[in-house]
A = this chain, B = another copy of it.
């Protein structure tokens, strides 16, 4: 059962962290972040940062890596949003 859980965890981590790539591509053109919530981006970035701290403390590289990747893309969308303010 442990193997199955690891595979599902890896897939879940990949899907959630890579899901922000299409959002980043949509947010790149100037002025195309109007409908994206600034508060969501800030709260989500803080949450992802805490997941990284959690992963490091637990020495769980899947959680750490997934959230580093997620934070990178969410952070990039946040930069686009701030640019458009």
What residues of chain A have their CB less than 8 Å away from a CB belonging to chain B? 1, 4-5, 8-9, 11-23, 25-27, 32-37, 39-40, 43-44, 46-48, 50-51, 53-54, 57-58
Inter-subunit contact B46/A15 (CB<8 Å): yes
The contact of A26 among B23, B27, B35, by CB within 8 Å, is B35
Which residues on the B side are within 8 Å of A54 (C-beta)? 5, 8-9, 12
The answer to whether A50 and B12 touch (CB under 8 A), given A26-B37, A35-B33, is yes
The contact of A37 among B11, B22, B50, by CB within 8 Å, is B22
20 contacts between A and B (CB under 8 A): A1-B57, A8-B53, A8-B54, A9-B51, A12-B48, A12-B53, A13-B47, A15-B43, A16-B44, A16-B48, A19-B39, A20-B40, A22-B40, A26-B35, A27-B35, A32-B35, A33-B35, A34-B34, A34-B35, A36-B36
